[in-house]
Amino acid sequence: METAVGTLVLTFHGPFVYHIQPGAINVYAPICANHRAGISTANAEYPFCGRQKNGGDYTYVLDAAGVQNNYGDIKYPGQGSHKCSILAAPPDKSVDKSQARFCLTVPRPTQIYRLNATTTSVMQDNSKVERKNWATGLSFYYPCDLTKYVSLITPEKSSVDLSFDSDMPSLPNYAGIEVQHVGPDADDAEHLDAISCFDQTMKILNLPWWLYYGQGGLIIDARTGADCHSLAVVLDPNVTRSTI
């Protein structure tokens, strides 16, 4: 069989804290009300169960034999035409695992792209209100031999096959995995779900930050709960500023 060295893209939708480690990334899901999480490919899907308390040590592991783990610097490509930023936690913060529902450990990618911008203010105190476009999801890019196995190792040490078919109906030498952490399907014009989920996310990092959408006037951006628009938060010891 011909070696299908190509690109694997791991895409996250929904609220997560991404803790960059020297040899991996730990992705923590906050304890958000009525949210469900799962992982899927074109051929398979599997739910993340998690715990209502102390879930940070309830760890799933993405085991991809063909992935080339990146032990160097991770690139965060430019903000693009929408000038969408990634929220970065202070590099000296630690993770409170008791405030997470579960953890997913994945290899370090070469690049992290921002997705699904939402416009809001991240309030660190009441002195400054600055509305910006923030990423609510991220995509991790990996060089990968797509002919090799991909599996999810559960906290109970069972293995779930996520390997890719050789005749996948996709772009040549490309494969994708989706991770979702989503709420109920309901319009939420005031973004109450996003505000609540961001509060839960900040508990993982013991930060007092909060979201402020302001008064929208006659313009109401209704959206479904399938993407709660809480912000993606990256804890990277190499990033000292509050935005990436």
Closest CA to 206 of 182, 181, 180, 235: 235
Domain interval for residue 158: 5-234
| CB-based burial, 160-179: b 16+ in 10 Å, e otherwise | eebbbeeebeeeeeebbbbb
Mean residue pLDDT across the chain: 88
Query: Does 38 reside within a domain?
Result: yes
Instruction: Indicate whether 187 pLDDT > 50.
Output: yes
41 vs 170: CA distance, rounded Å: 12
pLDDT tier at 167 (50, 70, 90 boundaries)? low
Instruction: Indicate whether 86 pLDDT > 60.
Output: yes
Under a CB-based contact definition with an 8 Å cutoff, are residues 47 and 37 in contact? yes
**Cα dihedral value 139, 140, 143, 147, nearest 10:** -70
Number of domains in the chain: 1
pTM recorded for the entire structure: 0.91
Given the structure tokens 């609540």, which residue do they identify? 196
- The DSSP letter of residue 205 is H
Residue 190, pLDDT score: 78
The encoded tokens of residue 172 equal 């040549």
Query: Does 90 reside within a domain?
Result: yes
The encoded tokens of residue 105 equal 């450990």
Query: Does 102 reside within a domain?
Result: yes
Residue 1, pLDDT score: 44
Residue 221, pLDDT score: 54
Which phi and psi angles does 98 have, rounded to 5°?
-70, -15
Region 169-192: mean pLDDT is: 79
Query: Does 99 reside within a domain?
Result: yes
Q: What percent of the chain has pLDDT over 70?
A: 87
Region 68-80: mean pLDDT is: 88
Under a CB-based contact definition with an 8 Å cutoff, are residues 137 and 116 in contact? yes
Q: 244, exposed or middle or buried, with CB in 10 Å at 0-12, 13-18, 19+?
A: middle
228 vs 230: CA distance, rounded Å: 6
Query: Does 243 reside within a domain?
Result: no
Instruction: Indicate whether 175 pLDDT > 80.
Output: yes
Residue 170, pLDDT score: 53
The encoded tokens of residue 91 equal 């590099």
128 or 18: whose pLDDT is higher? 18
Query: Does 19 reside within a domain?
Result: yes
Closest CA to 226 of 183, 191, 192, 190: 183
192 vs 196: CA distance, rounded Å: 6
Under a CB-based contact definition with an 8 Å cutoff, are residues 146 and 66 in contact? yes
Query: Does 230 reside within a domain?
Result: yes
Region 184-206: mean pLDDT is: 86
Query: Does 31 reside within a domain?
Result: yes
Under a CB-based contact definition with an 8 Å cutoff, are residues 216 and 74 in contact? no
pLDDT tier at 55 (50, 70, 90 boundaries)? very high
Distance separating the N- and C-terminal Cα atoms of the chain: 41
Region 226-243: mean pLDDT is: 86
Q: What's the Rg (C-alpha) of the chain?
A: 18
